[in-house]
Structures are given as structure tokens and as C-alpha cells.
Structure 1
Amino acid sequence: MLTLAAVGLTIGIAFAILFLVSSKGLSTFYINKGSVIDFLTGLKWNPGVKNELGKPIIGALPFIFGSFAVTFLSAAICAPVAIGAAVFMTEISPKFGKKILQPVIELLVGIPSVVYGFIGLSVVVPFIRNHITGSGFGIAAGTIVLSIMILPTITSLSADAIRGVPRQLREASLALGATRWQTIFRVVLKTARPGLLTAVIFGMARAFGEALAVQMVIGNSSVIPTSLFEPAATLTSVLTMGMGYTVMGQAENNALWSLALVLLIMSLIFILAVRMIGRGRKDA
């Protein structure tokens, strides 16, 4: 009975959050008469001001672009490094990986995001400003910080996926004359591919929803940058900066809830992707 009550409470909280975010987020369009097309394709963000048609200016495309840019770039940079580290920990030096690298990875997972953001603000931004170009704030700085943040997550999940490959497959491959690298590349990684994809998607989900660290280094400019070294903004950075300065029920506050609804939808998409990959692995 207690277990059933706990499950029911969990489901109820999930549906309550979904209802709250959805109702608040959609109020921008059916109460404040905002345009969905303008929200998804507009370039100007000023919800407190109305345009010539009497609709709030809620162009969220720069924030959506910024979120996707830092997420996919950080995943593209981090995934090969994380998978390579997982291979080293499990296949090349499993004892060293288990005794030394695994605790280090777990330690990195537990570091608060504000610490990563402060390191990015103190090290990454000045380095880009002094040795590359621009002010240092921008997509590049956010990508570097996020890559470091999601590295331990992807590495840990990838290592678990590789350890889940049956030992008999490795022994069979070696018995047929394959080298260790051929076994790793053609047998181990291929068999663990669903788990590796799941690890990358989890890392992308964390990167997409990260707020504080990105806010500290990306520049928070509501424009679509033409370079990786120009300031930009993400959905989460706009939310964290604006939610405390708006009044509940006003157009500005409802517009921020609409951004939160986009984040929620993207989280659901990431979860569905993970479940589809898991279902495909079971069917195989």
C-alpha cells in the first residue's frame, strides 16, 4: 500500500508540473494574444511591448538557436572523448580505470554547475578574449564549459554500457584471430552502441537544461550570433535572469513560462529518444 501511494504521488507530481508549465506557457498565446509563429521565428524579445498588431514581441528564435547550438556542439566535442575514456577504463586498463578514473569521474559529476561556470568565467573567457577574438563571451565559451560538464556523465554511462557487453563476444572475436583493437571497434562498441547513444542523449539533455554555468559565460545577448565568439543567449539563461523580475500573470511572466514549456517539450523528446533506443535494444 505504501509503495502504491509513493508511485501515485510521483505520477501526480509529474502531471501537476506538466499541467502547470503547459497552462502558464500557453497563456501567452490565448490570453496575451501572442503568435506562435512569431514566438518560434521572431528575432526580437520584448514581451512588455506590443507591436503594431497589438501582440507582444516574443521572438524566441535567438534563445532556441543558442540552446541547440551549445548543446549539439558540446555533444559533438565531448562524445568521442567520453567514449574513448570509457573504452580505456573498461577495455585497455580496467584496473587503473576502476581504482583511479572511476572515482575521479564520480567526483566530477558531483561538482556544482556554478563552479564550472566560475572556472569558465575566470579561465575560458579570458583565454578566448586574449588569444582568439572578441570579448570572450559567446557560443564557444558556453560549448567548452558544457563539454567539460557533460563529460563525466557520458563517460560513466558509456563505461556501464561497455561493461554490459558479454565477455563471450570478446573471447570469440579474439579466438577468430581479431586483434584487441578490432575486437573493441567491431564487436564491443558495435554491441554497446544503443547504450552509448543513450549516454550521449543523457548528456545532451543535461546540456540543454543547464542554466547557471552557461549564463555566466555565454554573454546573454538576445541575437543570433554570426560567429562562435559573439555573445548569445539560451532558453535557460533568459529564464534565470528574468523570472525574478516579472509579475505573475503579466505578459512578460507568461512569455517566460512559454520558454519553460519549450524546455519541457525538449526534455520529453530526449526521454522518448532514450526509451526508443532502449526498446530497439530489447527487440534486437
Structure 2
Amino acid sequence: MIAPYARWSVLRRARRRAARRHYSFSAGHGDRRRISEAIRLLRWLDRRGRSLADLTQADLDRHLRGDRNRAAQLTGFITWARHRDLVDARLVVPLRQPDEPIVLADVQESDARIRTLLADSDVSLETQVAGLLVMMLALPLTRIQRLTTNDLHTRDGVVRLALADHPVPLPAVLAERISRLAHIAQNKPYALVPGANDNRWLLPSPSLPGTHLCTRQIAVNLHKAGIPVRASRHLALIRLAERLPAPVLAELLGLSQSTAAKWAVHSQTGWADYLAARTTTTGDRGGCDE
């Protein structure tokens, strides 16, 4: 496994680089790191009695533990393996971005958006589901775009969505719509996930058969429906972190422990900052409204 990757990916790129310009010591060190990280992942799986084909997104997130440098070194190997159908086509190496400012949607406005989204017949079912996943489960668009029919499980009348190791029970309004969306996807030939017998993308691209919608298109659709994605997701994370301990939040949503812990802290401090900002904006009336 490592030899083909090293020979046909890492060394091949190194030779091309050397032919174009000087192949520096630091470039060689980086290539050795890439091979070492691939070996490290395979050993990690081997200790757990797993093969590369068994690797899940939750496994990959757990293995990297939010380490941005290691993730960057492993990206090439996962991409190489994905192109050769050696791993799940939906696997994404979680390259952690610098912390972004916390932007919270107004609570009442967010709840009103959910009601409007459910009632507006002009909004497509795909956009309704994506919006509810953002506003109720705090899912990022990169995760929403990769959802498939195989991620849904129904047992004893309860619809669950597999986000990490344990499927999450869905609220009734979301369960009904996402189940309907899955049924529709089964009848779309272009929604078929490559290499899968009967697995379909929930948000397939009609123009590129076998692929899912890009996050930009999903974001555009949500914007047209009046949903501010980042602010809505941050509010949902705050709400979830209020009710769930950080380890549970991490396990349910497939977050790293550090990310879940960060949102647990924000759930305690975020509301104070939010209320202070609202008071500054609206003015403190010093009493109840009539």
C-alpha cells in the first residue's frame, strides 16, 4: 500500500519538481513526512484490527485529533486512495481553518426562519432539508453535501442520521422531509454514488452525474431562502452545547474534542456577549415592554 503511494504519487511529484527547479532539502523533508503520516494511519488502523477500506470519517477525525499540520501531510494519501476506490469516496481530511469570529443569529429570528422554511412552498425540499440541518443540528455545508441515503436509518418509527459512530435521532419535521428526500433520490439515476450498489446522494448534482452539489450552490440556495448560514450554525452549536456535555456533542456530531470543548465554553460566555450586543443595539429600556 505504501510503496505504490510513495512511488507513483510522492516520488513522481518530486521528480517533476526536480526537473523544473532545484529540489530543496525542505521539499524532501515534506515528502518524507507525507509518507510517514500515511504509515502512521495504517498502523493506527492495524492496532484496531481495521483495514484502510474500513476507514470512516469519524475514524479519520479521531486519528488526527484536530492537528492541522498532520492533516495537511495526510491529504495526499487520502486523495490518492480515494481516486483508486481504496477508501470511502466521501472521506475528507479535516483541514482546520483559523478560528472564525463567533456570529450568532437572533434566536427569535432563527425560530421564525425555521417556521417560514417549513411553510414556504416556493423553497425546494433540498433547500428545506439543508436549512434544517444547519439550524437544528449545526451541520457544516461540507458535511451536508456528502450525506447519502445510507446515512439514514429507521427503527421503531424513529429516523436517525449517521453523523459519526452513533446515529442521531431527528426531530419529526426534519425526519419527515429528509425521508422524503431520500425516497426521491432513489429514483434519480444521476444521484448514484460511484462504486455503490444502491447508495444515493441526498443532494445530487443534476449537471454532474455521480457527484453531490457543491457547498457554494447550497449556500446560494440557503441565502435565497433567507438563511444566514454561519450565524445560524453558530447559534445551533451554542444551543446544542448548552444541553450536551462536550464529549457527547463531539461524539454525536463527529467534532473533535477540542472543537466541542470550545463550543461548550461559548455556550456559557456567548449568551452574555450576545445579550450585551443586543442591549447596545436596541437600548436598555429598563423595564418590560407593554
TM-score range, shorter chain: under 0.3
Give the TM-score taking structure 2 as reference length.
Answer: 0.20
The structure in which a higher percent of residues are helix is 1
Give the TM-score taking structure 1 as reference length.
Answer: 0.20
Greater RCO, CA 8 A, separation 6+ = 1
